């Protein structure tokens, strides 16, 4: 399947069925780290839950409407970045991501997201990409801010997280903005 090297020892690869065990183990190790931001964490209770996620991603990949990539460092799965809802008419998409707590603060997610943006804008010809993030999630907000996205607004109480609703900030970048930054 699709594999994209970024630098020595760091690559992106489409998540495949045989990655379900490592993905579940990574999710399980990072529950406390992810729980404040990602409401799906507590629904991942066993390997088959990770397998279902991977199969959904493979179906989106086959249909050309998205994909889920594992982030690999020195042969170990350390995170996930996904492209959701590629809209073929509007040439737009939404990116979501998460990284193992022990690998944060090293610029990995910024480099990974830049590679995905290159794919979406330069290879697939999209026009607009969004990232949505909770206002309090400063580490996640830093990624689009570093990469030249504009914060366009806040969706009030747009995501249900347990028994509460959270706001989501919408960051977006257009193809011409990304291409100008990449020169």
Is the pLDDT score of 48 beyond 60?
yes
Q: What is the pLDDT of residue 154?
A: 98
Q: What pLDDT digit, counting tens, does each position of 126-162 carry?
A: 999 999 999 999 999 999 999 999 999 999 999 988 8
Is the pLDDT score of 46 beyond 70?
yes
**Any long-range contacts for 163-170 (C-beta under 8 Å, 24+ apart)?**
166/134, 167/134, 167/135, 168/132, 168/133, 168/134, 169/132, 169/133, 169/134, 169/135, 169/141, 170/130, 170/131, 170/132
Q: What pLDDT digit, counting tens, does each position of 31-41 carry?
A: 999 999 898 99
pTM of the predicted protein model: 0.94
Is the pLDDT score of 163 beyond 90?
no
Contact between 11 and 72 under an 8 Å Cβ cutoff? The reply is yes
Q: What is the mean pLDDT of the chain?
A: 95
Q: What pLDDT digit, counting tens, does each position of 61-90 carry?
A: 999 999 999 999 999 999 999 999 899 999
Is the pLDDT score of 122 beyond 60?
yes
Could you tell me the residue ranges of all domains in the chain? 3-182
What token pair was written down for 2?
A: 């699709």
What token pair was written down for 26?
A: 């990574």
Stretch 14-31: mean pLDDT, rounded? Answer: 97
CA distance 99 to 145: 17
Closest CA to 112 of 81, 150, 74: 81
Q: What is the pLDDT of residue 183?
A: 83
Q: In CATH, what is the architecture of 3-182?
A: 3-Layer(aba) Sandwich (3.40)
Is the pLDDT score of 1 beyond 70?
no
- Residue 154: beta bridge partners? 169
């Amino acid at each position: 399947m699709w594999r994209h090297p970024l630098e020595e020892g760091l690559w992106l690869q489409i998540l495949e069925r045989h990655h379900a065990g490592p993905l579940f183990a990574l999710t399980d190790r990072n529950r406390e780290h992810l729980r404040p931001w990602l409401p799906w964490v507590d629904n991942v209770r066993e390997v088959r839950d990770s397998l279902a996620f991977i199969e959904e991603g493979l179906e989106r990949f086959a249909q050309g409407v998205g994909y889920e990539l594992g982030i690999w460092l020195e042969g170990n799965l350390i995170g996930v970045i996904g492209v959701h809802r590629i809209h073929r008419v509007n040439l737009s998409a939404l990116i979501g991501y998460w990284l193992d707590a022990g690998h944060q603060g090293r610029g990995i997610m910024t480099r990974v997201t830049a590679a995905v943006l290159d794919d979406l804008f330069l290879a697939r010809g999209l026009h607009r990409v969004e990232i949505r993030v909770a206002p309090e999630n400063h580490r996640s907000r830093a990624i689009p801010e570093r990469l030249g996205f504009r914060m366009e607004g806040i969706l009030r109480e747009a995501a249900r997280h347990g028994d509460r609703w959270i706001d989501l900030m919408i960051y977006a970048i257009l193809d011409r903005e990304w291409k100008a930054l990449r020169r």
